[in-house]
Amino acid sequence: MKHSHPSKSWPVHGWVGLGLILLSWAANWSMTGLRTHLFFFPLWLGYCLTVDAMVFKRKGTSMLARNRKGYWMLFCISIPAWWLFEIINWRTQNWFYDGRQFFSDFQFFLLSSISFSTVMPAVFGTAELVGASKWLKKIPHGPSIPINRKTLIFLFFTGCLMLALLLFWPLYFFAFVWLSVYFILEPLNHWWGKPSLLKYLGYGDWRPVFALCTGCLICGFFWEMWNFYSYPKWIYQVPFVDFLHIFEMPLLGFLGYFPFSLELFALYYFVTGVLMRGRPNGLLQIFENN
Neighbour-count burial of 32, counting CB atoms closer than 10 A to its CB (0-12 exposed, 13-18 middle, 19+ buried)? exposed
**Residue 4 reports pLDDT greater than 60:** no
Q: What pLDDT, on a 0 to 100 scale, did the predictor assign at position 6?
A: 67
Q: Are 227 and 248 in contact (CB under 8 A)?
A: yes
Domain positions in the chain: 68-275
DSSP annotation string for 261-276: HHHHHHHHHHHHHHHT
Residue 96: half-sphere exposure toward Cβ, Cα within 13 Å: 9
- pLDDT for 9 equals 85
What's the pLDDT score for residue 1? 44
φ, ψ for residue 79 (rounded to 5)?
-65, -60
Q: Exposed, middle or buried: residue 38 (CB in 10 Å: 0-12, 13-18, 19+)?
A: middle
Q: How far apart are CA 187 and CA 147, in angstroms?
A: 10
What is the per-residue pLDDT for 129? Answer: 97
Distance between CA atoms of residues 62 and 56, nearest Å: 5
**pLDDT at position 289 over 60:** no
Q: What is the model's pTM?
A: 0.94
* pLDDT attached to residue 290: 46
In the predicted structure, residue 281 carries a pLDDT above the cut 60: yes
For the stretch 173-226, pLDDT in tens is 999 999 999 999 999 999 988 889 999 999 899 999 999 999 999 999 999 999
What is the distance between the alpha carbons of residues 162 and 181, in angstroms, rounded to a whole number?
9
Q: Lowest mean pLDDT of 10-14, 91-95, 209-213, 278-282, name the range.
A: 278-282
What phi and psi, each to the nearest 5 degrees, are found at residue 196?
-150, 155
Asked if residue 205 lies in contact with residue 112, where contact means CB atoms within 8 angstroms, the answer is no
Q: Is the dihedral of CA 127, 130, 132, 135 positive or negative?
A: negative
Helix axes of 149-168 and 68-92: crossing angle, nearest 10 degrees: 50
The CA distance from 255 to 85, in Å, is 16
SS3 98: strand
pLDDT over 90 at 277, yes or no: no
